[in-house]
Amino acid sequence: MRILITGGAGFIGSHLAESCLEKGDEVYIIDDLSTGDIKNVRFLQDNPNYRDRLFIHINTILNHDLMLELTGICDQVYHLAAAVGVQTILEKPLESIITNIQGTEKVLEMCNKFKKRVLIASTSEVYGKHTHAPLVETDNIIYGPSSKFRWSYAASKLMDEFTALAYHRKNGLEVIITRLFNTVGPRQTGAYGMVIPRFVAQALRNEPITVYGDGSQTRTFTYVKDVVDALTKLMASNASIGEVFNIGGVEEISILDLANKIIAMTASTSRIQLIPYDEAFGKDFEDMQRRVPSTEKLAQVIGSAPDKSLDFILNQVVDFIKNQ
């Protein structure tokens, strides 16, 4: 099978590329390295078993001719290229909206032209301000005002979902939409704000752990290889076509408890530093207070759902950062 992965040099994309190569697929990556990193895939290029089956294009998904060529030759498309991380959205709002909306439109246009099955990576951000748990794919959605730019990410990804579903309804395009909850694991960088790599790096250096707000906000974390497993199984299933799926982890934890857990786990002398949101992100910021997925629909279709414990995930991240 020939697989196109947009954003394949990113954290999740590179794990997906590795999994496809392990299965014997030919993998085509397109990535503009805006938040991806060539280091994420260099070890795959260096592997003699994979070298001849891996083709990397450092380019933008807005490049019409290249996307035409790549979509034409591939059998299936995973669309993971997107603006990543709350920090990126706040620092580069316009680029982020363009990447998410125009980029996804381009991918869908190409997949529709060649009638290729496409999986779109959306995000748990689309749920907006809900605090009930668990979040179900059919839930209503509430966002903050347009003056608060965080919600532009949610709105742009929601537009991506609508566009994909419209292609499915109107043209019969085989689309699958996945809402990824906080995904964690080796190769994720803290550079775009992601909490676990940041806290682990801070703890290992015995620096203050930067908890935003009062730390009462909660998250569940998903191990990246569980995410990849779910993505590939959804891609292989006909029951997933035209449907939206949560992909998320199992243990809800507050960010303050997470900080304390990481300090204990790394035997760090770090202290916790509470940083008000407006200091961290400016006055127009709103956080999501709680985000817990229902993965019932996912489990019904693929027979399993992410189940790695937070301890397991944290151990993987600690080992990775220590060895860097």
Q: Which is nearer to ligand UDP, 61 or 154 (CB)?
A: 154
Q: Which residues contact 2 (CB under 8 A, 6 or more apart)?
A: 25, 26, 28, 73, 74, 75, 76
Q: Which of 11, 143, 149, 212 binds ligand UDP (CB under 6 A)?
A: 212
Q: What is the C-alpha separation between 258 and 302, in angstroms, rounded?
A: 30
**DSSP-assigned letter for residue 205:** T
Number of chain residues interacting with ligand UDP (CB under 6 A): 13
Dihedral (CA of 4, 10, 16, 19) sign:
positive
Nearer residue to ligand UDP within complex by CB, 126 or 195:
195
- Region from 106-114, 207-215, 225-233, 310-318 binding ligand UDP, contact rule CB under 6 A: 207-215
What six digits make up the tokens of 300?
A: 């019904």
Q: If binding is defined by CB under 6 A, does position 194 make contact with ligand UDP?
A: yes
Asked if 281 contacts 86 with a C-beta cutoff of 8 angstroms, the reply is yes
Based on the shown chain and the rule CB under 6 A, indicate whether residue 195 belongs to the binding site for ligand UDP.
yes
Q: Which of 57, 198, 290, 308 lies at the binding interface for ligand UDP (CB under 6 A)?
A: 198
> Which lies closer to ligand UDP via its Cβ, residue 76 or residue 202?
202
Our finding on whether 185 is near ligand UDP (CB under 6 A) is no
Question: Which positions from 263 to 292 touch ligand UDP by CB under 6 A, shown as an x/- string?
Answer: ------------------------x-----
Closer to ligand UDP by CB, 209 or 235: give it: 209
Is residue 182 at the binding interface for ligand UDP, with CB under 6 A as the rule?
yes
x/- map, 18-57, ligand UDP, by CB under 6 A: ----------------------------------------
Task: From the candidates 143, 153, 192, 212, give the one annotated as an active-site residue.
Answer: 153
Distance of CA 275 to the CA centre of its chain: 25
Minimal CA–CA distance to 181: which of 92, 29, 298? Answer: 298
Among 82, 211, 235, 298, contact with ligand UDP (rule: CB under 6 A): 211
Residue 265 in contact with residue 318, Cβ under 8 Å? yes
Which one, of 261, 264, 260, 283, lies nearest residue 273 by Cα?
A: 260
Q: Using CA atoms in the order 242, 251, 191, 94, what is the torsion angle rounded to 10 degrees?
A: 40
141-157 exposure pattern, b = at least 16 Cβ within 10 A, e = fewer: eebbeeebbbbbbbbbb
Alpha-carbon span 3 to 20, nearest angstrom: 8
Shortest distance (Å) from residue 14 CB to ligand UDP: 18
Angle formed at CA 105 by CA 103 and CA 106, multiple of 5 degrees: 65
Q: Return the residues of window 223-262 that contact ligand UDP according to CB under 6 A.
A: 255
86 touches ligand UDP by CB under 6 A = yes
Q: Is 153 a catalytic residue?
A: yes
For the annotated catalytic residues, the residue numbers are 153
Tell me which residues touch ligand UDP (CB under 6 A).
86, 182, 193-195, 198, 210-212, 217, 219, 255, 287
